[in-house]
Amino acid sequence: MNANPTPARNVRPTRFRRLLACAVLAPAGLAAALAFAGCSDDEPPPHFQCSGQECDFRCPEGQNCGAVCQQGADCKLDCANNVNCDLDCQSKSTCVSDCHLAGGCDAECEGQSNCNVDCSQAGNCNLDCAGGSSCEVGCKQNCGGGCSGDSDCRLSCDSGCGVACTGNSTCDLACRTGCFICCQGSGTCTLGCVDAPVTDCPGGIKVCGRECPSADACSNPGAATTSSL
C-alpha cells in the first residue's frame, strides 16, 4: 500500500455526509503532488482516502467514520460497531462497506463503479447508485436507495425497505414483506416478496405487505421505509 497523509483535491461531496468532503479538501497548491496519491490510512481518523490503489480500512471503535475511494480504487471499509459509516465510491472504483452488525451505512456509488454494502444483520442503510454503476445491498430492515442513470441495483431485505428507480436503471428488490419500489422513466423494476402479494399503486409504485406510500416516497425512499408498515 502506498501511504500518503495528504488527501486528493478532486473529491466531490456526497449527498449523505457533506462533512466527509470537508475532511478531504486540500489547498490548491498541492494539486500536482496529489496526482500520485494512493491510500492514506495513516491520516487522522475517522476519514480515509483511497485513489487508484487497493485499500483496506477499519473504522476506529465508537467514532463516526467514512472513506472516499476514486480513480479505479479497490476499497474495503470495515465499519466495525459504528452506527454512522459513509462510503463515497467514484470513477470506476470497486467498493465494499461492511456494517452487518451495527447498520447505519450510507454509500454513494457513481461513475461506473461497483459497490456492495453488507447490512445483513442490521438496518438503516442507504445507497445512492448513479452513473452506470452496479450496486448491491444486503439488509435486514429499514433500508432505502436511489438508482439512476444506467445503473444496475439489487437490494435484498427482510422487511421495511424501499428503492426509487429512475432513468434507464435496472432495479431488483427481493423482500419478505413491507417493501416498495418506485419505477419512473424507462428502467426495469422488479419487486419480489415472500410473505405478501405485490400490488400496484399510483405513480409507478409497487408494494407488498404495506399501504401505498405517498408520491414523495420516490424521491426519498429511505425516509419512507418505516412508514405505513
Cα–Cα distance for residue pair 72/90, rounded to 1 Å: 8
DSSP characters over 80-116 = TT-S-EEEEE-SS-EEEEE-TTT--EEEEE-SS-EEE
Cβ atoms 169, 163 nearer than 8 A: no
Tens-digit pLDDT profile for residues 53-110: 999 999 988 888 999 999 999 999 999 877 789 999 999 999 999 999 889 899 999 9
Q: Say whether pLDDT at 174 is over 70.
A: yes
Torsion of CA 129, 14, 44, 78, to 10 degrees: -20
Q: Say whether pLDDT at 177 is over 70.
A: yes
| Residue 204 belongs to a domain | no
| Residue 203 belongs to a domain | no
| Residue 24 belongs to a domain | yes
Whole-prediction pTM value?
Answer: 0.77
Tens-digit pLDDT profile for residues 218-229: 887 765 554 444
The DSSP letter of residue 2 is -
pLDDT value for 62: 80
Q: Say whether pLDDT at 39 is over 80.
A: no
Cα–Cα distance for residue pair 164/155, rounded to 1 Å: 11
| Residue 209 belongs to a domain | no
pLDDT value for 66: 93
Q: Which domain holds residue 82?
A: 18-142
Cα–Cα distance for residue pair 68/140, rounded to 1 Å: 25
Share the mean pLDDT of the chain. Answer: 81
pLDDT value for 185: 83
pLDDT value for 114: 98
* Cα radius of gyration (the chain): 18
Q: Say whether pLDDT at 7 is over 70.
A: no
Q: In total, how many domains does the chain have?
A: 1
| Residue 189 belongs to a domain | no
pLDDT value for 224: 57
Percent of the chain clearing pLDDT 90 (strictly above): 62
Cβ atoms 162, 146 nearer than 8 A: no
| Residue 58 belongs to a domain | yes
14: enclosing H helix or E strand: none
> Quick one: which of 223, 146, 138, 229 has its CA closest to 184?
146
* 11-25, 33-47, 129-143, 215-229: least confident range: 11-25
The DSSP letter of residue 3 is B
